[in-house]
């Protein structure tokens, strides 16, 4: 009988090319990702703790500053109340009219032969006044004065009404005009 041999060694199955590649790439990726994760995670813990430390430092600084401010409550109170009052006075005085210059300008009309009987004004500069002029020459001076003020833009919209000539030769009239804002400051 001829000899028969039995081959008991199993044939090695060769891996497919894709599997071969994966067996190389995947372990590398796994190691790199694990190392990276560990490093980044430790760095994040350090970053968080550092931020918490800074936060606590700032908090204690703020507490100190608040205590300091609290101890100066009286100073803050008196200063705040003073500035708020001054602010109101500044607001109000800025918006209100000061008639001193206007009265002075009208008073200047008390020239020779001119007397002011009455005057009135509101805070927008609408002025009305009545004058008596003893003669036509005085009237002339009055008109020159008003024209001069008109030229200097201190008075505008000047109107004369109710001009009455008395038997004695004197004149009484009412004048309305608009005073410039500069006369109300």
Find the binding residues for other proteins in span 119-178 (CB under 8 A): 119-123
Query: What distance in Å separates the CA atoms of residue 100 and residue 90, rounded to the nearest whole number?
Result: 19
Our CB check for other proteins shows the closer of 2 and 13 to be: 13
Count of residues near other proteins by CB under 8 A:
71
Site string for other proteins, 51-90 (x = CB under 8 A): xx-xx--xx-xx--xx-xxx-xxxxxxxxxxxxxxxxxxx
> Residue 132: CA atoms inside 13 Å, Cβ hemisphere, count?
8
Which residue from 6, 16, 30, 151 is in contact with other proteins, where contact means CB under 8 A? Answer: 30
Neighbours of 34 (CB within 10 A): 10
Question: What is the C-alpha to C-alpha distance for residues 57 and 50, in angstroms, rounded to an integer?
Answer: 11
Considering only 7, 8, 9, 110, the residue that binds other proteins (CB under 8 A) is: 110
Binding of other proteins at residue 92 (CB under 8 A)?
yes
- 174 three-class SS: strand
2, 26, 112, 178: residue in contact with other proteins (rule CB under 8 A): 26
Binder among 7, 11, 17, 94 for other proteins (CB under 8 A): 94
Residue 127 burial (C-beta neighbours within 10 Å; 0-12, 13-18, 19+): buried
4, 9, 19, 153: which one binds other proteins (CB under 8 A): 19
Helix, strand or coil, per DSSP, at residue 126: strand
Rounded distance, CA 45 to CA 99, Å?
A: 74
Min separation Cβ 51 and other proteins, Å: 4
- In the complex, the smallest distance separating the C-beta of residue 153 from other proteins, rounded to whole angstroms, is 22
């Amino acid at each position: 009988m001829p000899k028969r041999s039995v081959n008991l060694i199993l044939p090695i199955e060769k891996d497919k090319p894709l599997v071969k590649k994966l067996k190389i790439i995947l372990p590398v990726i796994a190691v790199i990702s694990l190392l990276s994760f560990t490093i980044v995670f430790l760095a994040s813990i350090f970053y968080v703790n550092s931020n918490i430390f800074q936060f606590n430092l700032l908090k204690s600084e703020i507490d100190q500053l608040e205590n300091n401010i609290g101890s100066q409550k009286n100073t803050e109170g008196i200063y705040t109340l003073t500035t708020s009052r001054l602010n109101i006075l500044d607001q109000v005085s800025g918006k209100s009219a000061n008639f001193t210059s206007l009265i002075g300008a009208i008073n200047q009309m008390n020239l020779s032969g001119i007397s002011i009987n009455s005057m009135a004004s509101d805070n927008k500069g609408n002025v009305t006044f009545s004058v008596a002029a003893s003669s036509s020459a005085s009237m002339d001076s009055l008109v020159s004065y008003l024209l001069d003020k008109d030229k200097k833009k201190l008075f505008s919209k000047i109107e004369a009404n109710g001009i009455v000539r008395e038997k004695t030769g004197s004149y009484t009239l009412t004048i309305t005009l608009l005073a410039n804002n500069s006369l109300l400051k």
